[in-house]
Amino acid sequence: MLEVEGRLIDASNATLYCTVALDGISAACVYKPVRGERPLWDFPDGTLAGREVGAYLVSEATGWDLVPPTVLRDGPFGVGMCQLWVDVDETVDLQALARSDHPDVQRLCVLDAVINNADRKGGHLLPTSEGRVYGVDHGVCFSVDDKLRTLLWQWRGVPLTAEAVDVLERLQTDLYGGLGERLSEHLTRREVRRTVRRVEQLLLSGLHPMPSEDWPAIPWPPY
Ligand SMILES: Nc1ncnc2c1ncn2[C@@H]1O[C@H](COP(=O)(O)OP(=O)(O)O)[C@@H](O)[C@H]1O
Ligand SMILES: [Mg+2]
């Protein structure tokens, strides 16, 4: 059972705050119906909701727990993405967090390079009172063209951590197996192949990516 409680006002698509309940257990979530998606010329295939699920699947495969659990499911406005709500610590300064060396932010930076995130704004970082940081809003990821657009450039050209290298090596294997199959339910074959290639390039260089000169490397607005 999914019930709509309200609309998130600064959202660009239909982004709804909801509760889900089963067997007496309930949780808050975000629900973005596919029907509410604004068509984007540069993402002609699949759905934004499917890309959000794809980002969750990659996050899950890293073991880093960076994207709140996200599924495709039916709701009052049809099929959409449904993502667990994260209680944000409102006292955290997002500008400072986005420039910090918080380990979760650095891991998000690696995740974004893998999923080719075109929209890592400050408002898409969710800090919790336990000191964790989650990332949300992954509708414009997995393009076959390089589109990495993020605020998090503090590690540009810096060697990846040993932990990140381990994770990328595991991802590489997993993308040829179960993860690749799960992603294919939401992305085109080309998009999955490009994801493999981005992982390979990261492992080859051993470095965090540099901002491109060919496209805007910072999202607008940045927060
Ligand atoms: N899972 C979540 N938990 C808590 N807050 C969230 C979650 N997802 C989104 N939000 C909040 O709602 C805002 C709008 O959601 P977002 O996913 O960015 O929607 P849109 O695709 O419309 O931009 C986010 O900037 C964030 O503040
Ligand atoms: Mg957003």
Q: Which ligand is nearest to the CA of 123?
A: 1
Cβ 59 vs Cβ 183: under 8 Å? no
User: Could you report the per-residue pLDDT of 194-209, keeping only the tens digit for each?
Assistant: 999 999 999 999 999 9
**Whether residue 70 has its Cβ less than 6 Å from ligand 1:** no
Q: Is residue 219 part of a domain?
A: no
Which residue segment(s) compose the domain that 16 sits in?
Answer: 2-205
The pLDDT confidence band at residue 215, using thresholds 50, 70 and 90, is confident
Residues with CB under 5 A from ligand 2 (ion): 137
Q: Is residue 99 part of a domain?
A: yes
As a whole-number percent, the residues of the chain with pLDDT over 70 amount to 99
Mean pLDDT on 118-135? 97
Distance CA 45, CA 55 (A): 16
Q: Is residue 221 part of a domain?
A: no
216 C-beta neighbours (distance < 10 Å), count: 11
Count Cα atoms within 13 angstroms, Cβ side, for 176.
8
Q: What pLDDT is recorded for position 14?
A: 87
Q: Which two tokens stand for residue 81?
A: 């993405």
Q: What pLDDT is recorded for position 163?
A: 98
Distance CA 59, CA 55 (A): 6
pLDDT over 90 (residue 10): no
Nearest to 172 by CA among 195, 139, 153, 206: 195
Q: Is residue 190 part of a domain?
A: yes
Q: State the pTM of this model.
A: 0.97
Q: Which strand (E) or helix (H) includes residue 5?
A: strand 2-7
The pLDDT confidence band at residue 179, using thresholds 50, 70 and 90, is very high
Question: Average per-residue pLDDT in the chain?
Answer: 96
Nearest to 18 by CA among 10, 8, 9: 8
Nearest atom in ligand 1 to the alpha carbon of residue 48 is 21
Q: Is residue 98 part of a domain?
A: yes
Domain count, the chain: 1
Cβ 18 vs Cβ 29: under 8 Å? yes
121 C-beta neighbours (distance < 10 Å), count: 19
Q: Is residue 51 part of a domain?
A: yes
Q: Which two tokens stand for residue 65?
A: 């727990």
Q: Whose CA is nearest to atom 18 of ligand 1?
A: 137
**Whether residue 141 has its Cβ less than 6 Å from ligand 1:** no
User: Could you report the per-residue pLDDT of 27-86, keeping only the tens digit for each?
Assistant: 999 999 999 999 999 999 999 999 999 999 999 999 999 999 999 999 999 999 999 999
Q: Which of 15, 67, 117 to mutate to test the pocket of ligand 1 (most atoms within 8 A of CB)?
A: 15
Q: Is residue 36 part of a domain?
A: yes
pLDDT over 80 (residue 149): yes
Q: Is residue 214 part of a domain?
A: no
**Whether residue 123 has its Cβ less than 6 Å from ligand 1:** yes
pLDDT over 70 (residue 11): no
Q: Whose CA is nearest to atom 15 of ligand 1?
A: 11
pLDDT over 90 (residue 174): yes
On the question of a cis peptide bond just before residue 221, with omega within 30 degrees of 0, the verdict is yes
pLDDT over 90 (residue 216): no
Residue 102's domain is classified under what CATH number? Answer: 1.10.510
